[in-house]
Chains A and B, each alone.
Chain A
């Protein structure tokens, strides 16, 4: 995977670089930032995260399993306690709820991991230690011939440093 990486020190210049690149359509853009900034979100205008679907499905699975295990096991060996219903759904709601939360959360985490492709051992190409500190990064995935164009653009936008990644 090859492309061009621009390292920025200023938020606004990063934003303008991204908007430029989107106009030019030089290739997939990856933006690195030490934290979340809406300015960047706006500029990237990426698709909505699909993690919520994982959450929904996980939650539904959880709640149904919770109720099921409680009711099934009560009827499996019926024992009356305190003259209460052998399978009494009201208290079992608590089980259902807790299991829903449990499975729902774990599914959410799974969704996040899968979609953001972690865990991974290497930070792969185009990453720079400074991005976790104070700098922003813009990486364009493109071949050699488009590269120079990208470099100019990044420099013009105010990148402190521009380099090719091979």
Chain B
């Protein structure tokens, strides 16, 4: 049976597993009281229904933003995360990193039990033994009076736990813990504190007229991506008085690509620019420093002046002068009087409270190196990977008397520890996190721990109980009961609060404050004729995401490279160096060197090379192992006045390697060749002040028209053309409008607003999660190069173009055709989410010999996996190339390419068939959600309501670019949007009558073009 299509994994296999492990028995009837404790969001556990999802509200802990999420729990285990629509901050949206949390939860490489070092190896042990050992070590430290030298490094988190932890530590006579986050913009936070009195004021893009970003990537990692992106997209959607964005920086990041103008200032020259803008310096001086034309600088100054208090200047600069720079940027706002309008300290975000800087960590490392640290705790943080080599962490750590890691997954640091007390994943534990406007996000377990792990908070309590001195102080069962005892209003209030996972309150125990200040220690700038720009990866961050296949498989939003490290080089530079894409480049700074293939990118200064952090793990599980390089190796240990690691403004030598390794990219051609896939419209045209530049007239072969729209009225486009299928045929079956099923009355359709889409790619991961799409890039998933030798390059299948993403984000460039010869910052980027267009006249359908794909009466282009024989003709005939073939048994556990190594297959969606090898698959418009909505409506004896449900991509989209619904029913939003003036179809001339309508991107003139000045 398992050779049948779609039965790679038995959809109900988890029944067996759970039966065996008894993790939760709810699925087979008996409701275990653990599950009973959960407070459901929609239904209460006493009417738990098998095979029906329940949603538990909790709080995402993947980054400091702490968005509200709903865990979709099916039969006792979470299968997907969704944004909590009732959460004021992320309003139902969620990012790729958040979605991937389930892969952290079900990660096959997690520690499955406590581990203790015996000789060179870590051996499994029991909790009792482990706790006994630790208690003894703590005792020793205390008795030796060295408790004061104990170090506790925690992955930065906000909320009650830090306070709880510090209490515990001080109770043991140990110093406060270090709350580290290697990607947090420490300098900016420090400067914000000084300038606005808030670590992270709310950025009100809605009120902004002009946003000037100095390397502040507010759409890809700087601060709180999701809420910022929501505000940004909503503001831009106003179209007419949308805020304009100027991006200043040496590399055009995702945020930069969304900007209306890119000012490519030399790395480290931002200070000079700010000086010019605030009047503290001359434009000429700034120009000399930054290589930006005087005219542009003056124009920018003017634009800022014109914008009045609509200015929003934000700074993400790193480097030894980062704090000063950020302060100057704040002055721009102060000068413009925009503090309070665009920058709102009052409704700031408390997520960074208690953050420790790199300098603090460095000090701790110093102490370790001195051998004065008897006992060190690490939780989550991975300094062995995220600290520059020159910091010498590993060596110093080795000198610690006894090293304890509470880390849940094996990583470079925990590998060095003596004792591993694996923490629960946040989806398995109680907790909270500080959010915006004094809100506290609550966090509850959504399933029994998958493995034999325990929440660190509970472990600390257990340890305290072993110590007579503390036993009384911690006279509680566990952290949860301790928490409730502190909770305002107690248990009942807690229970009600959990239904929304929101309560307006600060952390229950105050976080011990920490001032981000240090004496700046400039790093060795190094020499060489290139600047090197090191930046956190939008998908993998500093590397924490690297062990999640979804994030590895998700192409970088800018370079579209996955499962790999790459070096970005400007085309003109590439020409000078005489290199092609994929040529191995070695970058050498004062701190060290790395070698990675070149990616030729016109969005980076010719005198700069850029490389992302996140890869280069040596011990982080099968999905991260030996992939790419760790860019931290390039960074010398130096910090700014806030103690933040100075990774900007480095000089490097670049040497061209001889060998050439193919890029693991999903990009075919970065140019549209005038085929009008991602179309744009100048704002002037919309305002009527400007003639239609009839871009699409020359872009689309054939005359553009709005003819396609009648194709949206009815499921089968042939109708639209007024010739219903076969007039002579007596039985048109369910295509007959008279048919009892009334299926024919609907036309499921989608609109995608390119003016909103930022290219963040959250939709892609959402689709993976919802539709059981296999990741194919892991090193073990390659093909055989000979009967004995397998291709084990990371992303081998993607090099072969075999990625499976049902929805992909195409990134096309417009303009700058002569970029190999001259550097110009002015080019336009079009982000186009491309998925099955569900054509009314689908070219893929008639060529299928077995009706495995056909047109359903409600307007879906259906793919029946179990009927498919795999001729792949449909894909050949699909102009949009959105059909994906199962080249291997990605869904078959007995094949080496299996994509969900146990227990990862617990995250499979039971409503969607897992495809076996040899069958075609593609976007289904989340038909399982359509059917589920129909079931619900039927049960309640009604029709499906307008906008009652939506697809996974639309649901996740943090810029609300995707809208799904029934285009044949004017009550649905989609049917209105489809008639927007910007609406168009991709390849309309092919007459496919697609169900996906794109709304043209809106292009704004460069706010600071010298002409205007």
Bound CA–CA A86/B735 (angstroms)? 10
Of the 9-residue stretches B280-288, B344-352, B837-845, which lies at the interface with chain A? B837-845
Contact pattern, B 690-714, Cβ under 8 Å of A = 1, otherwise 0: 0000000000000000000000000
CB distance from B718 to the nearest CB of A (A): 3
CB distance from A74 to the nearest CB of B (A): 8
| Residue ID in chain A nearest B991 by CB atoms | A83
Residue contact A80 to B729, C-beta cutoff 8 Å: no
Report how far A86 CA is from B725 CA in the complex, Å.
Answer: 6
Q: Is B716 an interface residue (CB 8 A)?
A: yes
Q: Are A85 and B842 within 8 A (Cβ)?
A: no
Whether A83 lies near B733 (C-beta < 8 A) is no
Task: Determine whether the beta carbon of B846 is less than 8 Å from that of A81.
Answer: yes
**Chain A: CB-nearest residue to B727:** A85
Q: Does A75 lie at the interface of the complex (its beta carbon under 8 Å from any beta carbon of B)?
A: yes
How close is B848's CB to chain A, nearest CB, in angstroms?
7
* Nearest-Cβ distance from residue B907 to partner chain A, whole angstroms: 34
Shortest A72–chain B CB gap in Å is 11
A80 and B735 contact, CB distance less than 8 A: yes
Q: A75-B731, A77-B733 are in contact. Are A82 and B846 (CB under 8 A)?
A: yes
A89 → chain B, closest Cβ, in Å? 9
A51 contacts the other chain (Cβ, under 8 Å)?
no
Q: Does B479 have its Cβ within 8 Å of any Cβ on chain A?
A: no
Report the separation of the CA atoms of residues A88 and B731 in the bound assembly, to the nearest whole angstrom. 14
Is B851 a contact of A81 with CB atoms below 8 Å? yes
Determine if A144 is an interface residue (Cβ-Cβ < 8 Å). Answer: no
B717 at the interface (CB under 8 A from A): yes
Does the CB pair A80–B725 fall under 8 Å?
yes
Once the chains are docked, how many angstroms separate the CA of A80 from the CA of B841? 9
Q: Is the CB of A82 within 8 A of B841?
A: yes
Does B515 sit within 8 A of A, measured CB to CB? no
A83 B731 Cβ-Cβ under 8 A:
no
Tell me which of B728, B735, B842 contacts A82 (CB under 8 A). B842
Contact (Cβ within 8 A) B733 A78: yes
Q: Does B726 contact A (CB under 8 A)?
A: yes
B846 / chain A contacts, CB cutoff of 8 Å: 81-82, 84
Contact call B716/A86, Cβ cutoff below 8 A: no
Q: Nearest residue in A to B842 (C-beta to C-beta)? A: A82
B898 at the interface (CB under 8 A from A): no
* Among A77, A82, A85, contact of B726 (Cβ-Cβ < 8 Å): A85
> Is A79 an interface residue when CB atoms closer than 8 A count as contact?
yes
Identify which of residues 77-119 in chain A touch chain B, using a CB-to-CB cut-off of 8 Å: 77-88
A82 touches B731 (CB 8 A): no
Instruction: Collect the chain A residues with CB atoms within 8 Å of residue B496's CB.
Output: none
| Cross-chain contact A83 with B726 (CB below 8 angstroms) | no
Q: Within 8 Å CB of B732, what residues of A?
A: 78, 86
Majority SS of interface residues in chain B? loop
Asked if B854 and A79 sit within 8 Å, CB to CB, the answer is yes
- Least CB distance, A118 to chain B, in whole angstroms: 39
| Cβ proximity bits B715-745 to A, threshold 8 Å, 1 near / 0 not | 0111001000110111111110000000000
A84-B731 in contact (CB<8A): no
Q: Are B854 and A83 neighbours in the complex by a CB distance under 8 Å?
A: no
**Cβ–Cβ contact B721 & A83, under 8 A:** yes
Q: Does B617 contact A (CB under 8 A)?
A: no
Contact of A83 among B728, B840, B851 (CB under 8 A): B840
- Given the known interface contacts A81-B842, A82-B841, the answer about A87 and B726 at a Cβ–Cβ threshold of 8 Å is yes
- Expressed in whole angstroms, the minimum distance between the Cβ of B764 and any Cβ of chain A is 28
Closest B residue to A84 by beta carbon equals: B846
CA distance A41 to B803 in the complex (A): 72
A84 to B839, CA, bound (A): 13
Q: How far is the CA of A74 from the CA of B851 in the complex (A)?
A: 11
**Contact present for A82 and B845 (CB under 8 Å):** yes
For A78, A80, A84, A85, which residue has the most chain B Cβ atoms within 10 angstroms? A80
Chain A residues lying within 8 Å of B721, measured Cβ to Cβ, are 83
Determine how close the nearest CB of chain B comes to the CB of A90; give it in whole angstroms: 12
CB pair B716 A80 closer than 8 Å: yes
CA distance in complex: A85, B719 (Å):
11
Note all chain B residues with C-beta closer than 8 A to A81. Answer: 842, 845-846, 848, 851, 853-855
Does B831 have its Cβ within 8 Å of any Cβ on chain A?
no
* Residue contact B855 to A83, C-beta cutoff 8 Å: yes
Please, which residues of chain A bring their CB within 8 A of the CB of B729? Answer: 74-75, 78, 85-87
What distance in Å separates the Cβ of B877 from its nearest Cβ neighbour in chain A? 9
Give Cα A82 to B728, complex, Å: 18
- How far is the CB of B844 from the nearest CB of chain A, in Å? 8
Residues of B contacting A82 in the complex (Cβ-Cβ under 8 angstroms): 841-846, 855
CB-CB nearest in chain A for B848: A81
User: Complex Cα distance A77/B732, Å?
Assistant: 9
Q: How far apart sit A78 and B846, CA to CA, in the bound complex (Å)?
A: 13
Q: Enumerate chain B residues within 8 angstroms of A79, measured Cβ to Cβ.
A: 851, 854-855
Residues of chain B within 8 A of A86, CB atoms compared: 725-726, 729, 732, 735
| Chain A min CB distance to B728 (Å) | 8
Contact of A80 among B718, B843, B848 (CB under 8 A): B718
Is B993 engaged at the interface, CB distance under 8 Å to the other chain? yes
Query: Is A85 within 8 A of B725, CB to CB?
Result: yes
CB pair B731–A78 under 8 Å, yes or no, is yes
A80 to B716, CA, bound (A): 8
Task: Report the bound CA distance from A75 to B725 in whole Å.
Answer: 11
Interchain nearest-CB distance for B843 vs A (Å): 6
B735 nearest in chain A by CB position: A80
| Residue in A closest to B721 when the chains form the complex, CB atoms | A83
Please indicate the chain B residues that have their CB under 8 angstroms from the CB of A74 in the complex.
Answer: 729
CB-based nearest B residue for A80: B855
B874 → chain A closest CB, angstroms: 10
Expressed in whole angstroms, the Cα–Cα distance for A79 and B842 within the complex equals: 13
Contacting residues, chain B, for A75 (C-beta < 8 A): 729-731
B713 to chain A minimum Cβ distance, whole angstroms, is 13
Closest-by-CB residue of A relative to B877 is A82
Please report the C-alpha to C-alpha distance between residue A19 and residue B721 in the assembled complex, in whole angstroms: 74
Q: Which residues of A contact B993 (CB under 8 A)?
A: 83
Report how far A85 CA is from B845 CA in the complex, Å. 12
Q: Report A57-80 CB contacts with B as 1/0, cut-off 8 Å.
A: 000000000000000001101111
Which residue of chain A has the shortest Cβ distance to B844 in the bound complex?
A: A82
Q: How far is the CA of A79 from the CA of B850 in the complex (A)?
A: 11
User: Counting chain A CB atoms within 10 Å of each CB, which of B718, B721, B848 scores highest?
Assistant: B718
A80/B854 in contact, CB under 8 A: yes
29 A-B contact pairs sorted by A residue (CB < 8 Å): A75-B730, A78-B725, A78-B733, A79-B851, A79-B854, A79-B855, A80-B735, A80-B845, A80-B854, A80-B855, A81-B845, A81-B848, A81-B851, A81-B853, A82-B841, A82-B844, A82-B855, A83-B716, A83-B717, A83-B718, A83-B725, A83-B841, A83-B993, A84-B846, A85-B726, A86-B732, A86-B735, A87-B728, A87-B729
Q: A79-B851, A80-B725, A82-B842 are in contact. List 12 more A-B contacts (CB 8 A).
A: A75-B731, A77-B733, A78-B729, A78-B732, A78-B733, A80-B855, A81-B842, A83-B841, A84-B718, A84-B725, A86-B735, A87-B728
Q: Which 9 A-B pairs have CB atoms at the shortest separation, nearest pair first?
A: A83-B718, A81-B845, A82-B846, A83-B841, A78-B733, A85-B726, A81-B846, A82-B845, A79-B854
